[in-house]
């Protein structure tokens, strides 16, 4: 099964996309005390771990390990970004690209809401067991 996965990181949000459908948006809420990758390097990393006890409807949905080995490959990887060196970056004096300032349009917002309602199994913003002292700050802020 092949699909296209990419992340758009802009000044406003990180949008995680699969086949041009947003599956997760992490907004830039630095002004509200939420961390956001503004001046640090990023890397591509993939992993698989057994989260049966917390990320699968409280352990109700188990991973089917008979489907192993699970493999993933990166093909036609393309990075369009800035080189960060301490507090300076190579994009400071360059004209902004459209992806650096764009957000989700109305159609994309509807897609992500539908996708999350139908398929989201775990949402850390509703996990009071994992965060008994209170949910992370971004959970009380607008999502899209």
Structure confidence at residue 39 (pLDDT): 66
Q: Which residues contact 73 (CB under 8 A, 6 or more apart)?
A: none
> What are the DSSP calls for 20-34, one per residue?
TEEEEEEE--GGGT-
The domain of 82 spans 5-140
Structure confidence at residue 43 (pLDDT): 65
The more confident residue out of 83 and 50 is 50
Whether the model clears a pTM of 0.75, i.e. scores above it, the answer is: no
> Residue 5, SS3?
strand
Q: Which helix (H) or strand (E) holds 115?
A: helix 106-119
Residue 126 sits in a domain whose CATH number is 2.60.120.200
Q: Reply yes or no on whether the pLDDT at 4 is more than 80.
A: no
Q: Give the mean pLDDT of 37-58.
A: 68
Pairing of the two strands 13-18 and 21-27 = antiparallel
Q: Give the mean pLDDT of 16-31.
A: 86
Give the best-scoring range by mean pLDDT among 30-34, 65-69, 94-98. 30-34
Tokens matching residue 60? 């109700």
- Our count of domains for the chain comes to 1
């Amino acid at each position: 099964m092949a699909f296209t996965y990419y992340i758009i990181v802009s000044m406003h949000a990180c949008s995680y996309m699969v086949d041009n459908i947003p599956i997760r948006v992490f907004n830039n809420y630095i002004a509200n005390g939420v961390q956001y990758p503004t001046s640090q390097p990023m890397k591509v990393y993939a992993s698989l771990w057994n989260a049966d006890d917390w990320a699968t409807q409280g352990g109700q949905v188990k991973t089917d390990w008979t489907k192993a080995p699970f493999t993933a490959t990166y093909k036609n990887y393309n990075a369009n970004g800035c080189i960060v060196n301490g507090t300076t970056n190579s994009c400071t004096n360059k004209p902004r690209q459209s992806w650096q300032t764009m957000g989700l349009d109305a159609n994309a917002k509807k897609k992500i809401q539908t996708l999350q309602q139908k398929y989201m199994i775990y949402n850390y913003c509703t996990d009071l067991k994992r965060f008994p002292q209170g949910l992370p700050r971004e959970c009380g802020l607008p999502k899209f």
